[in-house]
Copies of this chain bind each other. A is one copy, B any other.
Amino acid sequence: MKAYDDLMRFQRQTEALGQVAGRLGWDQETMMPRGAAEQRGEETAAMEAVLHARRTDPRIGDWLARIDAADLDEVQRAQIRHIRRAFERTSKVPAKLAEEIARVTSVAQGIWAQARADEDVAAFLPTLSRVVDLRRQEAAALAGEDGDLYDALLDDYEPGATGASLEAMFSELRPALVSLRERLLGAEYQPGKLDAEFSEIGQLRLSADLARRFGYDFNTGRIDKAVHPFSSGSGRDVRITTRTSPRDPFNCFYSTIHEVGHACYEQSIDPEFGLTPLGRGVSMGVHESQSRIYENQLGRSRAFCGFLYRRMAEEFGDFGVRDAEAFYGAVNRVNSGYIRTEADEVHYNLHVLLRFDLERDLIAGRLETADLEEAWNTRFHKDFGVAVDKPSNGCLQDVHWSVGLFGYFPTYSLGNVYAGCLHEAMHEAVPGVEAELARGETTLATNWLAENVQRGGGLHEPRETIRRATVSEPGVAPLLRYLEAKFTDLYRL
């Protein structure tokens, strides 16, 4: 067991350094003085160099070779599975290529941001082509002779998932969502919108209250403001950010609840797994299932909206919405916007599916970057019934591809699919959830999720994590049942 112990000691230190690097990122988005940006670049690069050297340290290979799986218990085997997978991935990619990817993507984000500001797709294309090319090379190194390029990339975010399995799942989702959105937008009854100003201090106070109500532990976390909401850190230091907008308090509240979902996952993992590979959320898809079920199935439920309506009235006085049902409609209003991050529950996955298909084609070589804009606009028109008016509302809207994130998008929809499965299973297992939500409490729901999904961290593979919680094979049917029931009811169809 000496090799195992040595390896875990080394890994533990690497995990601790990873937390430090993560906290540096948090600081950059929340606390860092503006003028420190350039110096911070060097500090971040130095941390990355240290982490990269540790992750590719040949001693890891030696330790792994000397460990006999027969000597290990279930937890230890899971630890080794994670370490081995990460080490094999980094070992397969030539150092030169890894450096070139880091170099190119570090400048690509700035070029993308400028192109988006200028509404100039052509200015971004050479960079995008280079990023696609490099990621294809990396995928080829990872996939080996017979492997699929896209699957190799996807494996970084969602171990065990394949492009083909996701495609099968999403091909059921898409027509049902298109049909649903058409019926809703054509319905006679259309919910109203908020039309008032909401103080920043009130939004932040209510936001903190919501975080507590959803189980966020302030003893091992904190909330700050940032341009883009995010959750950061694992174990005993999991911080979230939110933002405010004077006329759109839902942006603040549901960003907070979403990030609380991510953060509670990290905070609820068995403390025994702290600073080990099992001590982090197991995949992007499972992570997103938690943030989305907190935000949508719980936070946007009729029961919780009833509570939130009264709570907002307490905080802001009369804000011009006549009753709880009108409020529920305002929270869940469906409309076909261009922007993924602003999309409602019905449209959100259509945004993701579009990106999934296009990025798979880019990586497979079936789509040239030169044809990306046209492909995007054609598909958007087909699924949303609207023509894209400008690139910043179209193929230039997301940062992901500029920084090389191919294979990441589908985990958003996979998370929604998993959230649908979990929601249905939870309702069968814990009957009192809705009654509690109506009182602004979430303990039954969040405890069930903590116990059945979150606590295990990386102990089981992602899909297996969901399967164990729901005691059935994950699929899109529960999500579709949920959306169909919720929205046809809300739209009085």
Contact = CB atoms under 8 A, between A and B. Distances in A.
Contact of A47 (B20, B27, B42, B222): B20
A342 interface: no
Given A12-B42, A20-B20, A45-B16, A36 B275 contact: no
Contacts of A32: 237
Interface in A261-278: 274-275
Interface string A228-253: 00000001110100000000000000
Interface string A5-48: 00000001100110110011001000111111011101101110
Contact of A34 (B13, B35, B219, B274): B219
Size category, A interface: 35 or more
Interface string A216-232: 01111110000000000
A235 B50 CA distance: 22
A48 to B, nearest CB: 11
Nearest to A41: B16
Contacts of A33: 218-222, 236-237, 239
A281 to B, nearest CB: 17
A328 B134 CA distance: 68
Nearest to A217: B35
B219 A39 contact: no
Interface string A294-309: 0000000000000000
A364 interface: no
Chain A interface, DSSP helix/strand/loop, else mixed:
helix
Contacts of A20: 20, 24, 43, 46-47
Nearest to A279: B39
A75 interface: no
A23 B42 CA distance: 14
A236 to B, nearest CB: 4
Interface string A101-143: 0000000000000000000000000000000000000000000
Contact of A16 (B43, B222, B237): B43
Interface string A444-462: 0000000000000000000
A49 interface: yes
A23 B27 contact: yes
Given A20-B20, A27-B27, A39 B235 contact: yes
Contact of A39 (B36, B47, B237): B237
Contacts of A35: 217, 219-220, 236-237
A43 B31 contact: no
Interface of A: 12-13, 16-17, 19-20, 23-24, 27, 31-36, 38-40, 42-43, 45-47, 49-50, 217-222, 235-237, 239, 274-275
